[in-house]
Amino acid sequence: MDRQDKSVLVTGGCGFIGRAVAKLLQRAGYGVVSLDASLSMSSSAKRREVECDLRDASRLQRVFEMEQIGGIIHLAAILPTAAAREPAQATQVNIEGSLHLLEMARRFRVRRVVCGSSLSVYGACPADEIVSETNRAAPEDLYAAGKLYVEHLGETYRRSYGLDFVTLRIGRVVGPGAHSTSSAWRSQIFELLATRAAAEIAVPYIESERLLLVHVDDVAKMLVSLLQAANPAHSVYNAACESVVVSALKREVERLNSNLSVTLGKDYASGNPRLLDSSRLRQEFHFQTLAIFEQLRKAAGK
């Protein structure tokens, strides 16, 4: 993709992952069109923010008419908690909105669409099962089912129209700046490491549970790598996630800052695998990640 002539459209550009992706693309010299239903008002010479709800097909078409879009990283979605609360809205945004986007990509001859999917498409798996891209998908909630449907939708556009479509299945994303209300701990374990006052971080899972975690900066690098690749060998990739035991996460955070207390809950990682084979991505793209505990130590300055 020519970095000078055409821009990358990032849907959900004001979100947690979207912001990291836009910054990485800008550093790599791409023009970025950051599209979101609500704006943060941070447009710049290389990054334009555009307010657009994916459900509005006419508005979306005008964006493509006004911008030279060479590639798309599609991250916009109603997330699991909100999707369960508002199933109609989630279906309209996550599925119908994705259809509108793929149709624009087809009509305007976008080079490649990279879709941010979820490891939740696999559903719950035995605790000792290492899940690869060849495992059968069995989503257990509306959000995961929508992600799988969009994967199939993209594959249909690839077969029927030649649209270059590739998917990254992402685990639980951690790092500073998420502004999440339903899972604030994912950012707090980084943001509170420097605190000098007593603080509590509530992680809702039992101590023996395993979570597939990935840092937001690594997710951004994976998505951009899939966008830049000349010819990806596969259409679906598991993100390079790390399986972390909750009790070990608690110990490491509390060790790094004695002012922090991590309280645990009674939840299980329902609807998600616990062990992952991400060798397809790691080997094809020579992708390496910094271990989550190393990320925490780095954030703590240790």
Query: Which whole-number Å values give the CA distances from 57 to 62, 99, 226, 239, in the listed order?
Result: 9, 9, 26, 30
- Is 268 marked active-site? no
Burial label, 155 (beta-carbon count in 10 A; 0-12, 13-18, 19+) = middle
- The active-site residue, picked from 30, 122, 143, 157, is 143
278 in Cβ contact with 238 (< 8 Å)? yes
Distance (Å, rounded) from C-alpha 140 to C-alpha 80? 11
Q: Which two tokens stand for residue 164?
A: 């270059």
Strand partners, 194: none
Could you tell me which of 49, 60, 69 has the C-alpha nearest to residue 5?
Answer: 69
Active site residues: 143
